[in-house]
Amino acid sequence: MQDIKMIRNVALFGHGKSGKTSLAEALLFTAGKTNRLGKVDDGSSVMSYDPEEIQRKLTISSSFNNFTWKKITTYLTDTPGDDNFINETKFAARVADNAIFTLEAVLGVKYQTQKIGGYIRDAGLPTIIFLNKMDRERANFEKTIDEIKYRLPQEPAVIYLPIGAEADFKGAVDIIKGSAYFFSGDGKAKEGPIPADMQDEVDFALEQLMEQVAETDDELIEQFLEEGTLDKKDLISGLKKAVRAAKLSPVIPGVATANFGTELLLNAINEYLPCPEERPAQVGSDPRTQDLVEMTPSPDAPFSGLVFKTTADPYAGQLTIFRVFSGTLAGDNFYNAKKDVTERFNQLFLLEGKEVRPVDSAGPGMVVALAKLKETSTGDTLCTKENPVLYEGLDPIRPVMSFAVSPAKKDDEDKLFSSISKMLEEDPTLLLTRDQQTREIILSGVGQVHLQVLGDKIKRKFGVEMQLHAPKVPYKETIKGKARVQGKHKKQSGGRGQFADSWIEMEPLQRGGGFLFEDKIVGGVIPRQYIPAVEKGIIEAMEKGVLAGYPMVDVKVALVDGSFHAVDSSEMAFKISGSLAFKKAAQEANPVLLEPIMNMTIYMPSECVGDVIGDLNGRRGRVMGMDSQESSEIVTAQVPMS
């Protein structure tokens, strides 16, 4: 086992298309893990290898790799930035030790960036900000830094200033060390003198950095106020401390696709980000006593880990991916505290892009996988039976968009739904339900792209085609008025006939009242044994309303009078009589259509409020209220499901 001080666990975060995967490729190449710089655009990326990811040129699920730079091994997780797959990002933040937050120097802070910044803050992750795409037209370093200050929970600390901008971007100045670095495509940075025209800017930036670092520490602020400066040693140790406490986030400019700035980032990961042992201990509960348990992130502590991802593969079977928080997993079994089972495994794997490498053991900070586990699923805690611990589960994002799902070929129904159920284990944001009224199977996900990607995956992995279409809207019917009618069923043309006569009174119930039947028969005008048949006839008639054939609800019916024939009356005759009476009464009692209305909560940047309200009005929506929270505006509304 490696010395734990020589390990870093880092996840890459950022909004869609900010260049996270390209940065992961550049880090792997510069550190010598790969022998060529993989590109997302031409499908040669090691980290983005699913056909769906290659086709759409975006990260759909978290991918993993590791590299060693100057004897320190980093376990790297590349997360999605697209909102359809943001759940993977949320789960990765829960198990990571550190974050590299990738931002674009052109687009700056987008609404999605703020959401991801919130996940990083909630997980308390020490963060380095990589300001990407510095070579693009309209790339603006200062403007983006200002946006980070005002719109993100992370406090940026500029430790490198860019040399040149847009097409002239060629290097960065280390303001602490006081030297310049010029970039070349191999990722290496060549040291040189600071350009003369930048010296004043560098001096000002150093002063600002000293002030920022001093503000995070009581001793340093005293020293800074007395002397007006900090010496280099205090500045570096103060910055390290502030980064590890998630108070400051160093900023490094670069270009991931050109491999500019990656050496500076690799050095910063080693220098500023904490190893697993320097992170706070994970707190769980003892499943037997419910007492709180602290698991020290040391290789010698009892083993514990959290499963945060499951992938289904038709050949390799299921891969269960987990992060080791404490102790060392070796041997051939573990205890699943959530399911209360001991499970055996054959081999432990380290994930390296789409490849897996067998390893004998795994310690704190490592992200590893086990194949073909029967009991264990996402959110489970792995530990030892002697020292059980249960970590708080992962709370998936709730699905917001639903489609009716069906196979392209009728014969494929069983195959399709068994494929979807395998994907449900892999993706906890999916939900499969059946609408009792419309009898459609409804598949819900985070967005339309999410469900389309699922269809592509199912076709590739299991060879079955899934079709999505808009679900039928389950309208209902009710009445607004009262009615008293007769339902007479008479067929007497010789021999045994059919005769039943029932009078009913109908009135509406409160919304949600369902159906109420009252027996008000006196004097035996209808024999007792026929009364349930009348009710049965009414219930059957309610299934198809009189307006558009939708089920009728919230109705009270009283059976008040009637007559019978000693020979010709029967249960069937009274059932038909009840049904006829109900249909007649429903038409007379002012029938109305009930439409399903959805409660919506919409989070958006302030500049979008007008557009969103306009859109809601166009969909017959009713705005119920408005609120604001941090950098979001919140609109609550009621909108017809259709």
Q: What is the pLDDT of residues 147-168, one digit of tens each?
A: 999 999 999 999 999 999 899 9
**Residue type present at position 295:** M
DSSP states of 447-486: SHHHHHHHHHHHHHHH---EEEEPPPP--EEEESS-EEEE
Phi, psi of 115, rounded to the nearest 5 degrees: -65, -45
Copy the structure tokens of residue 216: 């995070």
Superfamily of domain 401-409+421-469: Elongation Factor G (Translational Gtpase), domain 3 (3.30.70.870)
pLDDT level of residue 221 (50, 70, 90 thresholds): very high
CATH of 4-278, one of 3.40.50.300, 3.40.640.10, 1.10.760.10, 3.40.190.10: 3.40.50.300
Average pLDDT rounded to a whole number, residues 395-424 = 91
Cα distance between residue 92 and residue 79, in whole Å: 7
Contact 143, 200 (CB under 8 A): no
Output the CA–CA distances (angstroms, integers) from residue 70 to 30, 233, 263, 271, in the order listed.
12, 21, 11, 11
Sign of the alpha-carbon dihedral angle for 65, 69, 73, 78:
negative
Residue 529 DSSP class: G
Average pLDDT rounded to a whole number, residues 126-134 = 97
Phi, psi of 596, rounded to the nearest 5 degrees: -70, 130
Copy the structure tokens of residue 100: 């590299």
DSSP states of 26-39: HHHHHTTSSSS---
Could you report the per-residue pLDDT of 264-318, keeping only the tens digit for each?
Answer: 999 999 999 999 999 999 999 999 999 999 999 999 999 999 999 998 766 667 8
Strands, E assignment, 35-193: 63-69, 72-78, 98-104, 127-132, 156-158, 160-163, 171-174, 179-183, 189-192
**What pLDDT was estimated at residue 253?**
97
Q: Specify the range with the lowest mean pLDDT, choosing from 88-102, 332-346, 491-505, 585-599.
A: 491-505
Output the CA–CA distances (angstroms, integers) from residue 333 to 250, 343, 382, in the order listed.
41, 6, 10
**What pLDDT was estimated at residue 535?**
95
Contact 322, 303 (CB under 8 A): no
Q: Is the pLDDT of residue 173 over 70?
A: yes
**What pLDDT was estimated at residue 574?**
95
The CATH code that applies to domain 282-383 is: 2.40.30.10
Average pLDDT rounded to a whole number, residues 609-616 = 96
Q: Is the pLDDT of residue 591 over 60?
A: yes
Average pLDDT rounded to a whole number, residues 601-609 = 91
Output the CA–CA distances (angstroms, integers) from residue 570 to 557, 560, 564, 578, in the order listed.
21, 19, 9, 12
Could you report the per-residue pLDDT of 367-404, keeping only the tens digit for each?
Answer: 999 998 989 999 999 999 999 999 998 899 999 999 99
Contact 641, 473 (CB under 8 A): yes
CATH of 597-640, one of 3.30.70.240, 3.40.440.10, 3.90.1310.10, 3.40.140.10: 3.30.70.240
**What pLDDT was estimated at residue 1?**
55
Cα distance between residue 86 and residue 80, in whole Å: 6
Cα distance between residue 20 and residue 264, in whole Å: 16
Q: Is the pLDDT of residue 65 over 80?
A: yes
Q: Is the pLDDT of residue 517 over 70?
A: yes
**Whole-number mean pLDDT of the chain?**
93
Q: Coil, strand or helix: which one is 530?
A: helix
CATH topology of domain 476-594: Ribosomal Protein S5; domain 2 (3.30.230)
Cα distance between residue 635 and residue 346, in whole Å: 52
Q: Burial, 93: exposed, middle or buried (Cβ in 10 Å; 0-12, 13-18, 19+)?
A: buried
Q: Is the pLDDT of residue 185 over 90?
A: no
Fold matches, 401-409+421-469 and 597-640:
yes
Q: Is the pLDDT of residue 558 over 60?
A: yes
Average pLDDT rounded to a whole number, residues 105-127 = 94
Cα distance between residue 478 and residue 516, in whole Å: 13
**What pLDDT was estimated at residue 316?**
63
Domain ranges of the chain: 4-278, 282-383, 401-409+421-469, 476-594, 597-640
